[in-house]
A and B are shown apart, each in its own frame.
Chain A
Amino acid sequence: MALDYALLVLAAPASGHSSLTAVRFARALLARGHSLQRVFFLDNGTLTGLAAAVTPQDEHSPLQQWAQLAEEHQTELILCISSALKRGLLDSTEATRHERPGATVHPAFELGGLGLLVEAAQTADRLVTFG
C-alpha cells in the first residue's frame, strides 16, 4: 500500500548525521512508491536552508542533497519562519522587511508558518521526526 509521508527535521545540517539520514529515508520511501509532499524544518533544522553553507568536498552536503531531492520529486521544503528568522535565514521579502543586506535562504526552500506542519500532519499517513 502506497502511503503519503511527511518529514519533520529538527536536526541542524552540520550536527551529526541526522539530516543526511533524513534525506536517505526520503529517497528510500520514494523508491518504494510512497509519496513525500512536504518536509518541514523546525528549530535548528531550519539551518538546513542556509544558502551559504560550504561542505568540504569529501563530505556529503545536506544542502545539496535536499535541494536535489526537491528538484527531482517536487517535494516542498519548508523552513519554519519564526525559527528561521531567529537564525538569520531570510528570503528577499523578509530581508527587505527587516532591513537586512540580502536573502540567505537557498531557492529550493520556502519560509512558512507552523500551520504547514499541522496541515502535513493532517494529510500525511506517516509523519516522521528527525531530531
Chain B
Amino acid sequence: MTAAARKSILVVSRHAHPGSSLPRSALDTALAAAAFDQPVALLFQGEGVLQLLSEQDSRAAGVRNLRKVLDSLPLYEIETLHVDAAAAAAFGLDRDALPAGAEWLDAAGIRALLARHDHVLGF
C-alpha cells in the first residue's frame, strides 16, 4: 500500500458499552487501521458518548473496561476523539471528565468530519 493510495477511515460509535459488543468492535477496527498506519478517526454519537464516562468499573459486569482502551489511543496515534456535543449534553457528560483528546463537535462540525473521510464505518 503506497502513501498515495491511503484512504481515511472514520469509525462512528453509536452504542453504549457494556450493553453491546459493537463499541469494542469499533475500537478494534480503529486500532487495526492505526496498526497498519492508515489514517483513522473516531466519532462518538448517541448513546456511544457514554463510553467516554470517566468512572467506569465494569468488573462486576465481567467485561473489559473500555475507557482504559480509549485512554490508550494516543499510543496508537489516534489523538482526537470526536464527540457529538448535542449527545454529550443530552446525557449530561461533564466536559472536564472526558478523555484528553476529546473534541466536541456541533452539527456543522460533524458534517465536515463526515465529508473529509473516504470511508465512514457505522458501529
Contacts and interface: CB of A to CB of B under 8 A. Distances in A.
A130 B7 CA distance: 20
Contacts, number: 55
Given A10-B123, A121-B7, A43 B22 contact: yes
Contacts of A131: 22, 122-123
**Interface extent on B, as a size class?**
20 to 34
B33 A10 contact: no
B81 interface: no
**Interface extent on A, as a size class?**
20 to 34
Contacts of B1: 119, 122
A115 B22 contact: no
Contacts of B119: 121, 124, 126-127
Contact of A129 (B21, B38, B118, B122): B122
Contact of B21 (A8, A44, A127): A44
A46 to B, nearest CB: 10
A29 B29 CA distance: 25
B69 interface: no
A67 interface: no
A120 B121 CA distance: 12
Contacts of B6: 122
A82 interface: yes
Contacts of B120: 129
Contact of A10 (B25, B35, B36, B118): B25
Contacts of A54: none
Nearest to B20: A43
